[in-house]
Amino acid sequence: MLDPKGRVVMVSGAPRGVGRAIAERLLDQDRPVVDFFLDGAPAQARAGDTLLTAILAGGHGHVRHSEFGDGPRAGFCWMGACQDCFVLVEGRGARRACGTLLEPGMKLRRR
């Protein structure tokens, strides 16, 4: 692994929220690529990803903004209990990102 310290690093492949991925793909990632849309921009993830994985491992940083102005959120419990990872799936309404599997061509909107 290259040490980025003291170097200029170009980060590419993350159309929105460019920066570090919150979740790192580690194991079992040899799965077909799936195209989807995040806030209108094309994005990619893997078959079997939840919406939460697709967004966070894709380097998009957050799944929603707190309606009370305290900043971005990215869920907490990953088990459908905390209700903090709702994302809008066009045509289907608000879904918990942690418990919803990504499907090809899905259009996700973050609030």
Partner 1 sequence: MSVVVVGAGPAGVRAVERLVAAGLRPIWIEEAPDGGGRVFQKPPPGFSRGHRALYGADHGRAFALHAALAALKPLTDWRPDTLVWNLRPGDLDVVSDGTHERLGWERIILCTGAMDRVVPIPGWTQPGVTSLGAAQIALKTQGLAIGRRVALCGTGPLLLLLAQQLTKVGAPPVLVLESAAWSTTLRAVPGLAWNPAAALRGMAWRAGLKVQTGAVPLRVEEGCTALRWRDSRGWEHRTEVDAVAMGWGLKPETQLADLAGARFAFDRLQRLWLPERDAAGRASVPGVYLAGDGASIGGSVVAELAGTRAALAVLQDIGEKPDPLETTLLDRALAREARFRRALERAFPYPHALAAAMPDETLLCRCEAITAAEMRASAAPEINRGKAATRVGMGRCQGRLCGPPAAEVLAQAIGCDIAEVGRLRGQMPVKPVVL
Residue 57 host element (H or E): helix 51-57
CA distances from 105 to 33, 67, 70, 111 (A): 12, 27, 31, 19
CB of 59 to partner 1, least distance (A): 12
Enumerate the β-bridge partners of residue 94: 88
CB of 2 to partner 1, least distance (A): 13
Residue pair 73/84 in contact (Cβ under 8 Å)? The answer is yes
Q: Which of 5, 6, 10, 24 binds partner 1 (CB under 8 A)?
A: 24
By CB under 8 A, is residue 3 in contact with partner 1? no
Residues that bind partner 1 (CB under 8 A): 20, 22-32, 47-50, 53, 56-57, 61-62, 66, 68-84, 93-94, 98-99, 101
